[in-house]
């Protein structure tokens, strides 16, 4: 243990900040053999249980169950350990935290995949709202993750707001995306599994990047600089740290930007299609039930009502004139009737 591990940088926040020793003890898997063994036992027990709870909650489409899994899940510890070890230049704990983080993420993914084998119906974005909300992350998810990462880092640093950590665990959502990815992959949807893993990676990158930044703002990163004999080398190490964290954010920003642009384009296209179908069906007894985007840019429009059919050719002609690819648009008209006790019949 270095001499500066018990220090707190003299700033206007002094007195409300935790020592480096406190934070090391909170996020590192380090110390006496018996203590480390107990840490690992607790971590893996809670992680496997949290993964099982999250998978069950996703399969049952139960938001409350998924939230419970978020609170139980201990993945925040090795992620914050990676951040703290990077800032402090602790290579041994950096490697240890990264290995535990990757192993834990793989285990959560594996639990989702294995339990998915027990679920009879496919677990995909089309059949499950919990999965649908996690397989198409966008830039808004990055912004939210950065904000939550800031709160989580401040909760670790400041002793007066550490009780916010359960809320951070819920907001950052680490285990559910991994379980959703396992379920989606088991159901034969690798693209959706990748999207869920991307959401997890976004959250991890946000925690690491904002954590390093907050540590600098509160003065912890300068403690090692002041204790170092080679200050120039220490400054270069700090610069590499910040550049690495910025690169992580940029790496996840690319696919998130593409996903956001793709979602905006799809929403615009769906809105146009809905407008054209509604215009043609306005004077008929047909009503749009749903407009759903599917794979390969296909759009399925489900319409219910009673014959006669509206002028379907006019719908396709209008959409083609507007520049829409009508070969990727499927209109499904389903006759539907309702009856009362007198035998009267009407459209659905």
Contact at 8 Å (CB) between 74 and 97? no
- pTM assigned to the model: 0.77
The pLDDT of residue 41: 95
In terms of Cβ atoms closer than 10 Å to its own Cβ (0-12, 13-18, 19+), residue 34 is exposed
pLDDT at 230: 59
| Residue 231: predicted pLDDT | 61
How far apart, in whole angstroms, are the C-alpha atoms of residue 246 and residue 208?
Answer: 9
How does pLDDT run along the chain (348 residues), one tens digit per residue?
444 444 444 444 455 777 888 888 889 998 888 899 999 999 999 999 999 999 999 999 999 999 989 888 899 999 989 988 888 878 889 899 999 999 999 999 999 999 999 988 889 988 888 998 898 888 888 888 888 888 888 888 877 776 556 666 666 789 999 999 999 999 999 989 999 999 999 989 888 888 888 887 777 766 555 555 556 666 677 677 777 777 877 887 888 888 788 778 888 888 888 888 888 777 777 888 888 777 667 888 888 888 888 888 888 888 888 888 888 888 888 887 777 666 555 544
Secondary structure element (H or E) that encloses residue 315, with its range: helix 312-321
What is the pLDDT, as a whole number, of residue 348?
45
The DSSP symbol for 259 reads H
Q: How crowded is the C-beta side of 145, counted as CA atoms within 13 Å?
A: 25
pLDDT the model gives residue 295: 66
Per-residue burial over 311-342, b if 16 or more Cβ lie within 10 Å, else e, is: eeeebbebbeeeebebeebebebeebeeeeee
* Predicted pLDDT at 185: 95
Burial 274-287 (b: 16+ CB within 10 A, else e): eebbeebbeebebe
pLDDT, position 87 = 82
Q: Which two tokens stand for residue 49?
A: 């249980």
Q: What is the largest CA-CA distance in the chain?
A: 94
**Integer angstrom CA distances of residue 275 from 86, 268, 278, 318:** 53, 11, 5, 11
Q: How far apart are CA 13 and CA 20, in angstroms?
A: 15
pLDDT at 43: 95
């Amino acid at each position: 243990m270095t001499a500066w591990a018990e220090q707190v940088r003299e700033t206007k926040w002094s007195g409300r900040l935790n020592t480096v020793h406190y934070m090391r003890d909170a996020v590192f898997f380090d110390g006496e053999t018996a203590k480390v063994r107990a840490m690992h036992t607790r971590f893996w027990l809670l992680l496997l249980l949290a993964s099982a709870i999250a998978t069950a909650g996703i399969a049952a489409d139960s938001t409350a169950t998924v939230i419970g899994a978020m609170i139980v899940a201990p993945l925040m510890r090795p992620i914050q350990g990676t951040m703290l070890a990077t800032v402090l230049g602790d290579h041994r704990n950096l490697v240890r935290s990264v290995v535990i983080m990757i192993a834990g993420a793989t285990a959560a993914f594996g639990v989702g995949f294995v339990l998915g084998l027990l679920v009879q119906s496919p677990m995909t974005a089309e059949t499950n709202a919990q999965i649908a909300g996690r397989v198409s992350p966008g830039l808004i998810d990055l912004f939210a993750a950065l904000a939550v990462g800031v709160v989580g880092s401040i909760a670790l640093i400041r002793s007066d707001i550490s009780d916010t950590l359960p809320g951070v665990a819920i907001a950052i959502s680490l285990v559910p995306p991994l379980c959703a990815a396992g379920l989606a992959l088991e159901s034969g949807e690798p693209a959706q599994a990748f999207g869920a893993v991307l959401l997890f990676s976004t959250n991890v990158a946000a925690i690491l990047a904002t954590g390093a930044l907050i540590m600098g703002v509160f003065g912890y990163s300068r403690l090692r600089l002041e204790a170092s004999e080679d200050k120039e080398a220490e400054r270069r190490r700090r610069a590499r740290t910040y550049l690495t964290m910025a690169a992580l954010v940029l790496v996840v920003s690319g696919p998130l930007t593409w996903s956001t642009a793709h979602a905006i384009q799809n929403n615009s296209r769906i809105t146009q299609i809905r407008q054209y179908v509604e215009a043609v069906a306005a004077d008929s007894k047909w009503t749009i039930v749903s407009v759903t985007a599917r794979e390969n840019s296909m759009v399925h429009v489900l319409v219910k009502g009673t014959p006669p059919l509206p002028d379907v050719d006019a719908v396709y002609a209008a959409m083609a004139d507007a520049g829409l690819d009508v070969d990727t648009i499927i209109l499904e008209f389903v006759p539907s009737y309702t009856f009362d006790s007198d035998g009267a019949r009407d459209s659905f």
